[in-house]
Amino acid sequence: MFTIEAIKAAHAKVKTGADYPAYVREIIAIGIMGYETSVGDGNTTYFGMGSFQIQSGPKYGSISVADKSNRTKFLKHLKVHQRGATDFPTFCAESGKSGIEKWVADLSAMTCTYFDKAGTALVVESIPGL
């Protein structure tokens, strides 16, 4: 089973969105099959084999999530982040302003889905660089 300490060690290597593919490879190697991250406080639930799951706990102070989502605005910020131009806290703040409440990464399907407050999937993308 994986631990929060192992996840934190992998995450510590991530400085920008450009580092994300290497992070995904590393967390797959320790047994993570997927995860769900809340934009509101950064809490992430990681999922493994046999219903094993573990939570990170909040990673930062509260971020407000807009009631109305703006897919176009979010996609702009996502692309900027993936190019390495923003750090994780900035990406989370911009996601909240765009109405993104959470994202779910399925590491078997190699997809990341971004949801608004209504539970609508606004963007489903292949995890880049893998």
pLDDT in tens, 87-114: 888 999 999 999 999 999 999 999 999 9
Range of the domain at 44: 4-126
pLDDT in tens, 58-82: 989 999 999 999 999 999 999 998 8
Residue with tokens 């706990």: 57
Instruction: Residue 46: give its domain's CATH number.
Output: 3.30.1810.10
Q: How many Cβ atoms sit within 10 Å of the Cβ of residue 89?
A: 13
pLDDT in tens, 21-55: 899 999 999 999 999 999 999 999 999 999 999 99
Q: How many structural domains compose the chain?
A: 1
Residues 6+ apart with CB under 8 A from 85: 16, 17
Q: Which residues pair with 125 in a beta bridge?
A: 112
